[in-house]
Amino acid sequence: MPDCIALLPDHIANQIAAGEVIQRPASAVKELLENAVDAGATEIKLIITDAGKSLIQVIDNGTGMSETDARMSFERHATSKIQTIDDLFQIRTMGFRGEALASIAAVAQVELKTKKADDTTGIFIEVENSVVKKQEVIAAPTGTSIAMKNLFFNVPARRNFLKSNAAEMRHIIDEFTRVSLAFPNIFFSLFSNNQPVFHLEPGNLKQRILQLLGNNYNTKLVSVKEETDYMNIYGFVGKPDTAKKTRGDQYFLVNNRFIKSPYLNHAVTSSFREMIAKDSFPAYVLCIDLDPAHVDINVHPTKQEIKFEDEKIIYAFVQAAVKHSLAQFSVAPALDFDLDAAIQQLPSIQQPFTEKQQATTQSGSIFKGFTEMHQAHFIEPSKKNELKPWKDLYELSELNTEKPIENLSLEFLNNNTDEKIIQLHQQFILVSSSTGFILVQQQLAHERIIYEQLQNSLKGKNIPTQKSLFPITLTVSAADAILLEELSGDLLQFGYCVEPFGKNSFVLQGTPADVEQGNEKQVFDSLLEQFKHFSSELNFSKREKLIRSLAKQQATKTGKQLTETEMQFLVKNLFDCKLPNISPDGAPTYLEFKKDQLEKMFGK
């Protein structure tokens, strides 16, 4: 038997290793941006073509590299950032593993131009398949430009794995957002297919948040700031009314590095308890700075997960800091925020607070919310080791989800021709019948009805559009603009005619003929929000996500008073559905109460 073990050639070994670091265009974007930051750049430009599939270029005005360093930089484990293993625990730079450029050079065609400030000439190097193709002296500005072309050109299997341009571009914007959020004092810009997407002038963290996440946060951020010997925390949380259905705007930056931490996220979310709906996600950008010796950032190839020496301390600290700032915001809003002139004129602000008013206020639920246990600023006295494992906390909060009810009988419908129909608490519709009665939940029932109507429309003809007399312009964030463009074809099928109109803007030319309109901006914001909420559901097609989002968006909401005709209409349409008993999300749309069971309960 011949021996059968052979060493892999370098370029194949590099390609395999590259899989860990460079999974998609966005991973390369992250590595290149971080290298520019590490090089001390004050201006960093990102240029993208075809969602990074054709070109990803980063130009910085940092230190640049010498000729030897430029050649060395493409070698695996070539780094200027650490020398000994001890250095690993003192890291202040974003990179240190010396893998990124080697990986990129293994899976793309790379062109590097770089010059150090003191050198008169720069150097140009072209690498392909980990092999240097060309090297020459050039004239260049101080700094570095790295262009990587045709990502995965030599690994077709990986290239085929890439998602649509819209999806890959979203990932790129995510990475760009994370890095530029961590360094608000650096100028960043992003061009995609020659169009400017972001132009971020240097500023403070709040300005950077508004540039990236949208100006609507302007009056909606509460500042967080606590300092101790062990760690500092600063940043912002969104006021409770900015909480969203998706995990969207949530950022932890530990020593300027974006990290994912469900554990710390729980610390923040729990501080909002009772201020926001159970299934919503508060917005936050929280920066935690601590001695690098207390964190291990080398537990994940892309460094998005890190290990704290003492996670519980960080948890308690984050929670306390957020609770504290939320409490301050609710107690003294006028200190922190500019009050609208119109609000200043309100009698409640102008007139003295009488004892009678005080008594009324104190018996109200809002007041209680702030003064009883579980209030925002109520920080439980911490005994040693008392912090519950976060998994337990999660499990507790999941206990409440109900299972859908099956096998409901529908006979009552036929017996329900002349019975009265009643709305209770602006959300339940009570319909009696000879066999008992049912309670319909109006919003869930309506979601089911719309869901099936939209599904049917896919089989038949489009839902008719009613042209707007005065088309409305919608401006959305850069990430949402990409999403909306991607969805516009399907939206037309469902009656919404949205056309691109310059940078991040769209014109709404028409809406479904039989859907009540008004406040289109909000309609689209929440539609996109809903869509993103479903994005983690891998089993759903794009259409399915859109239909579910539209059903939620268009459904009559809990809290709306209904006329008798509306109630009759709703109940009738519900039972015309193929699956009347569950909402698209699987919650029951109605509960049935049988007369004989009720009688039994009364001992009859």
For the sheet containing 505-512, what is the strand order? 465-475, 505-512, 497-500
In angstroms, the CA 75 to CA 30 distance is: 19
Query: Which residues make Cβ contacts (< 8 Å) with residue 277, sequence separation at least 6?
Result: 243
The binder of ligand ADP chosen from 101, 151, 233, 327 (CB under 6 A) = 101
Is 81 a binder of ligand ADP (CB under 6 A)?
A: yes
In angstroms, the CA 538 to CA 80 distance is: 40
Q: Which 21-40 positions form the footprint of ligand ADP (CB under 6 A)?
A: 31, 35-36, 38-39
φ, ψ at 501 (rounded to 5°) = -145, 70
Give me the amino acid identity at 352. P
Sort residue 385 into left (φ over 0), alpha (ψ -120 to 50) or beta.
Answer: left
Q: Select from ligand ADP, Mg ion, none the partner in contact with residue 79, using the beta carbon and a kind-dependent cut-off of 5 to 8 Å.
A: ligand ADP
The CB-of-136 to ligand ADP minimum distance in angstroms stands at 19
The CB-of-297 to Mg ion minimum distance in angstroms stands at 13
In angstroms, the CA 206 to CA 214 distance is: 11
Give me the amino acid identity at 494. F
The binder of ligand ADP chosen from 65, 268, 322, 450 (CB under 6 A) = 65
Q: Which 14-73 positions form the footprint of Mg ion (CB under 5 A)?
A: 35
Closest residue to ligand ADP: CB criterion: 95
Q: At what angle do helices 25-38 and 165-182 cross, to 10 degrees?
A: 20
Is 79 a binder of ligand ADP (CB under 6 A)?
A: yes
* Site map (CB under 5 A) of Mg ion, residues 72-111, x = contact: -----------------------x----x-----------
Q: Is the dihedral of CA 52, 57, 60, 64 positive or negative?
A: positive
Give me the amino acid identity at 459. K
The binder of ligand ADP chosen from 144, 242, 325, 511 (CB under 6 A) = 144
- Closer CB to ligand ADP, 71 or 542, in the complex: 71
Q: How many CB atoms lie within 10 A of CB 75?
A: 15
What six digits make up the tokens of 599? Answer: 């009688």
445 alpha carbon, distance to own chain's centre: 28
Site size toward ligand ADP (CB under 6 A) is 24
What six digits make up the tokens of 360? Answer: 């009324």
Determine the length of the chain. Answer: 604
Q: With contact defined as beta carbons under 8 Å apart, do 530 and 245 qualify?
A: yes
Stretch that binds ligand ADP, among 58-66, 247-255, 302-310, 413-421 (CB under 6 A): 58-66
In angstroms, the CA 175 to CA 62 distance is: 20
Helix (H) or strand (E) holding 343: helix 341-344
- Closer CB to ligand ADP, 146 or 476, in the complex: 146
Stretch that binds ligand ADP, among 93-101, 225-233, 384-392, 408-416 (CB under 6 A): 93-101
φ, ψ at 237 (rounded to 5°) = -115, 150
Is 73 a binder of ligand ADP (CB under 6 A)?
A: yes
Q: Select from ligand ADP, Mg ion, none the partner in contact with residue 379, using the beta carbon and a kind-dependent cut-off of 5 to 8 Å.
A: none
Helix (H/G/I), strand (E/B), else coil: 216: helix
* Site map (CB under 6 A) of ligand ADP, residues 496-525, x = contact: ------------------------------
The CB-of-12 to Mg ion minimum distance in angstroms stands at 22
Q: With contact defined as beta carbons under 8 Å apart, do 226 and 323 qualify?
A: no
Site size toward Mg ion (CB under 5 A) is 3
Helices (DSSP H) in 409-496: which residue ranges? 411-414, 442-459, 478-493
Is 97 a binder of ligand ADP (CB under 6 A)?
A: yes
Is 292 a binder of ligand ADP (CB under 6 A)?
A: no
The CB-of-114 to ligand ADP minimum distance in angstroms stands at 7
Q: Select from ligand ADP, Mg ion, none the partner in contact with residue 60, using the beta carbon and a kind-dependent cut-off of 5 to 8 Å.
A: ligand ADP
The binder of ligand ADP chosen from 33, 46, 100, 478 (CB under 6 A) = 100
- Closer CB to ligand ADP, 128 or 525, in the complex: 128
Chain positions contacting ligand ADP, by CB under 6 A:
31, 35-36, 38-39, 60, 62-65, 73, 78-81, 95-102, 144
Please report, as ranges, the residues that interact with Mg ion according to CB under 5 A.
Answer: 35, 95, 100
